């Protein structure tokens, strides 16, 4: 559930920042969602490896 809420928040942030900056919203949303999801996956993996999940 947390993952889904965070991805939605990242998408909203990407959209809003692109609109305010005059950029393409789709690219900004994709960049933030993929980057954020990757960061969450790495953090989860490291936590799982050291037993802190």
pLDDT-derived band at 51 (thresholds 50, 70, 90) equals confident
3-state SS of the chain?
A: CHHHHHHHHHHHHHHHHHHHHCCCHHHHHHHHHHHHHHHHHHHHHHHHHHCCC
pLDDT at 12: 97
Half-sphere exposure of 2 (CA within 13 A, CB side): 4
pLDDT at 53: 59
Instruction: Return the ∠ at Cα 44 (arms to 42 and 10), rounded to 5°.
Output: 70
- Structural domains in the chain (count): 1
pLDDT-derived band at 1 (thresholds 50, 70, 90) equals confident
pLDDT digits (tens, 9 = 90+) for 7-48: 999 999 999 999 999 999 999 999 999 999 999 999 999 999
Q: Which domain holds residue 23?
A: 2-50
């Amino acid at each position: 559930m947390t993952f889904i809420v965070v991805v939605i928040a990242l998408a909203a942030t990407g959209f809003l920042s692109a609109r305010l900056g005059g950029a393409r919203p789709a690219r900004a949303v994709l960049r933030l969602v993929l980057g954020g999801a990757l960061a969450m996956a790495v953090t989860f993996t490291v936590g799982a490896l050291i037993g802190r999940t």
